[in-house]
């Protein structure tokens, strides 16, 4: 471990924190595409600020038409290691208590704000690791490039664009996960469940239900609208109290004919950490004095396929687990219903053993038997990099050298950036066992973690590129 480099990092920690604050203050949530801004204005500004920061520290940069940016340690070296991070974020959501999502604050040894730990903070840790090596005069023999994407959270079309132009490096790591290292990413299974219904105008009735912002997050908020229902009645009050108790969510009257249910969001790879507001809203609708209707009965069927609090896929017949990659997870994340139609989207993360037969076909059978249509069902295979490769061994050794902790390979349900990159793994930037509320309210990044991650990256780059 290089003392000089670590001293440099310690001496530049506040500067690093200030850069993270600056980058995270841009709400880089995907927006409408505009001329020259493929993901809208926020991601455009965020990417360009990251490039500006890299340039300011003497790295040569390239902007790939605002899809992706890149910063090279030394463009004259043969490119050998890519570090893949992203400058976009998921929507702010609600329920922030420590600060506003894009007003980044430093408090109790942490930075709080959207993007601090996913993934702008880790991106800047990697950049500062490169900067530390550069400014302490380390002569690498092989090149390292920081690739900065602008669309990781909405399907990673950014890096598909990038790899349409550039080849994959021999080795790629992405600081968009946990330490020590993730070499297995579960597969993904997504689908849309829809139903056309005959409008029933008998009052009181439910007019609409909407919940969820993105497919890869448990919905935090659901909005129910009614017609002809007296929301001030004791029956409604009792039903709301019951659901609050049962589901540990809050139910509030938010308009003349409107009830809002607020639960807890969580990433779709760890749905057990969330409280699904959409499902809780359906359970609430079941308890309200509404006239029976086809719409209502199909809503009920949804809570049989996706029971509240059950996230193992058992409701749609796909519960499974294997030794290497563990349990399948499944969560219903997007909800829309109106008087004539309903549509729901689920996100399942599948172990290595999952295949079309035991997963996709099995689910379709159960869902169709319940009377729904299955649209756009698709599976993405898992990603596995062998744990005994020299690349992985070097990364783990670098982690052990800096932290003194044991390095070992992990499995995740989160599809990280390297899902389609042959020799790509997720490496940091979060220390094990810490939930930083990424994708939820009060996202944070511990300053100790920021410093450690930067040192680990510097060590790893040196070990891999000398």
* C-beta closer to Zn ion: residue 48 or 436: 436
Q: How far is the CB of 447 from Zn ion (least distance, A)?
A: 20
Q: Considering only residues 213-232, where is the footprint of Zn ion by CB under 5 A?
A: none
Q: How far is the CB of 104 from Zn ion (least distance, A)?
A: 17
* C-beta closer to Zn ion: residue 28 or 329: 28
How many chain residues bind Zn ion (CB under 5 A)? 3
Q: How far is the CB of 173 from Zn ion (least distance, A)?
A: 14
Q: How far is the CB of 39 from Zn ion (least distance, A)?
A: 14
* C-beta closer to Zn ion: residue 121 or 143: 121
Q: How far is the CB of 65 from Zn ion (least distance, A)?
A: 22
* C-beta closer to Zn ion: residue 110 or 439: 439
Q: How far is the CB of 86 from Zn ion (least distance, A)?
A: 6
| Angle, helices 447-465/13-24, rounded to nearest 10 degrees | 100
Structure tokens at 246: 């049962």
Name the one residue in this structure whose structure tokens are 């920081």: 146
* C-beta closer to Zn ion: residue 416 or 454: 416
**3-class secondary structure, 141:** coil
- Nearest C-alpha neighbor of 160 from the set 170, 172, 146, 150: 150
Contact at 8 Å (CB) between 426 and 181? yes
Lay out the site mask for Zn ion across 94-133 (x = CB under 5 A, - = otherwise).
Answer: ------------------------xx--------------
* C-beta closer to Zn ion: residue 66 or 416: 416
* C-beta closer to Zn ion: residue 19 or 176: 176
Residues 283, 429: Cα–Cα separation, whole Å: 39
Q: How far is the CB of 123 from Zn ion (least distance, A)?
A: 10
Q: Considering only residues 7-36, where is the footprint of Zn ion by CB under 5 A?
A: none
Q: How far is the CB of 152 from Zn ion (least distance, A)?
A: 5
* C-beta closer to Zn ion: residue 176 or 178: 176
Q: How far is the CB of 114 from Zn ion (least distance, A)?
A: 11
User: Residue number with the shortest CB distance to Zn ion?
Assistant: 119
Q: How far is the CB of 132 from Zn ion (least distance, A)?
A: 23
Helices (H), 57-113: none
Q: How far is the CB of 177 from Zn ion (least distance, A)?
A: 8
Between strands 171-174 and 424-426, the pairing is: parallel
How many C-beta atoms surround the C-beta of residue 172 within 10 A?
23
Residues 147, 82: Cα–Cα separation, whole Å: 7
Residues 381, 385: Cα–Cα separation, whole Å: 13
Residues 194, 306: Cα–Cα separation, whole Å: 14
* C-beta closer to Zn ion: residue 28 or 398: 28
Contact residues for 338 (Cβ-Cβ < 8 A; gap 6+): 207, 208
Structure tokens at 16: 């690093």
Contact at 8 Å (CB) between 400 and 406? yes
Q: Is 347 in the site for Zn ion (CB under 5 A)?
A: no
Between strands 205-211 and 329-338, the pairing is: antiparallel
Distances (CA, A) of 438 to 137, 175, 176: 35, 14, 11
Contact residues for 218 (Cβ-Cβ < 8 A; gap 6+): 263, 264, 265, 266, 267, 268, 271, 273, 274, 275, 276, 331, 333
Distances (CA, A) of 140 to 72, 134, 398, 439, 464: 12, 9, 16, 36, 9
Contact at 8 Å (CB) between 194 and 367? no
* C-beta closer to Zn ion: residue 315 or 424: 424
Contact residues for 393 (Cβ-Cβ < 8 A; gap 6+): none
Q: How far is the CB of 154 from Zn ion (least distance, A)?
A: 11
Q: Considering only residues 46-75, where is the footprint of Zn ion by CB under 5 A?
A: none
Lay out the site mask for Zn ion across 157-196 (x = CB under 5 A, - = otherwise).
Answer: -------------------x--------------------
* C-beta closer to Zn ion: residue 119 or 178: 119
* C-beta closer to Zn ion: residue 136 or 157: 157
Contact residues for 292 (Cβ-Cβ < 8 A; gap 6+): none
Q: CA torsion 227→230→235→240, rounded to 10°?
A: 70
Residues of the shown chain interacting with Zn ion in the complex, contacts defined by CB under 5 A: 118-119, 176
């Amino acid at each position: 471990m290089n003392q000089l480099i670590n001293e440099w990092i310690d001496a530049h920690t506040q500067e690093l924190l200030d850069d993270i604050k600056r980058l995270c203050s841009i709400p880089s949530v995907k927006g409408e595409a505009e001329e020259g801004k493929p993901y809208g204005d926020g991601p455009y500004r965020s990417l360009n600020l990251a490039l500006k920061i890299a340039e300011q520290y003497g790295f040569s940069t390239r902007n790939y038409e605002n899809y992706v940016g890149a910063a090279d340690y030394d463009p004259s070296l043969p490119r050998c290691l890519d570090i893949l991070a992203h400058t976009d974020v998921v929507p702010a959501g609600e329920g922030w208590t420590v600060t506003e999502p894009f007003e980044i604050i430093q408090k109790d040894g942490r930075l709080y704000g959207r993007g601090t730990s996913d993934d702008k903070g880790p991106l800047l840790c990697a950049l500062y690791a490169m900067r530390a090596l550069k400014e302490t005069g380390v002569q690498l023999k092989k090149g390292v490039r920081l690739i900065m994407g602008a669309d990781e959270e909405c399907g990673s079309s950014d890096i598909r664009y990038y790899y349409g132009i550039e080849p994959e490096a021999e080795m790629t790591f992405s600081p968009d996960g946990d330490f020590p290292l993730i070499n297995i990413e579960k597969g993904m299974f997504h689908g849309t469940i829809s139903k056309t219904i005959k409008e029933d105008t008998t009052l009181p009735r439910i007019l609409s239900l909407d919940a969820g912002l993105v497919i890869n997050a448990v919905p935090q908020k659901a909005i129910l609208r009614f017609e002809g229902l007296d929301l001030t009645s004791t029956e409604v009050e009792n039903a709301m109290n019951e659901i609050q108790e049962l589901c540990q969510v809050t139910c509030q009257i938010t308009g003349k004919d409107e009830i809002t249910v607020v639960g807890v969001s969580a990433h779709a790879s760890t749905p057990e950490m969330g409280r699904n507001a959409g499902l809780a809203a359906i359970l609430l609708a079941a308890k309200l004095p509404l006239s029976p209707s086809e719409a209502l009965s199909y809503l009920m069927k949804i809570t049989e396929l996706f029971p509240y609090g059950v996230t193992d896929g058992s409701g749609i017949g796909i519960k499974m687990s294997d030794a290497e990659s563990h349990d399948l997870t499944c969560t219903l994340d997007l909800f829309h219903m109106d008087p004539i139609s309903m549509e729901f989207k689920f996100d399942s993360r599948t172990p290595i053993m999952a295949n079309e037969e035991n997963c996709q076909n099995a689910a379709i059978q159960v869902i169709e038997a319940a009377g729904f249509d299955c649209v756009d069902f698709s599976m993405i295979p898992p990603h596995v990099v062998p744990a005994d490769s020299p690349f992985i061994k070097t990364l783990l050794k670098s982690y052990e050298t800096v932290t003194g902790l044991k390095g070992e390979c992990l499995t995740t349900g989160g599809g990280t950036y390297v899902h389609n990159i042959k020799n790509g793994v997720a490496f940091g930037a979060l220390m094990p066992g810490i939930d930083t509320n990424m994708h939820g309210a009060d996202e944070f990044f511990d300053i100790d973690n920021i410093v450690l991650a930067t040192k680990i990256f510097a060590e790893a780059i040196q070990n891999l590129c000398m």
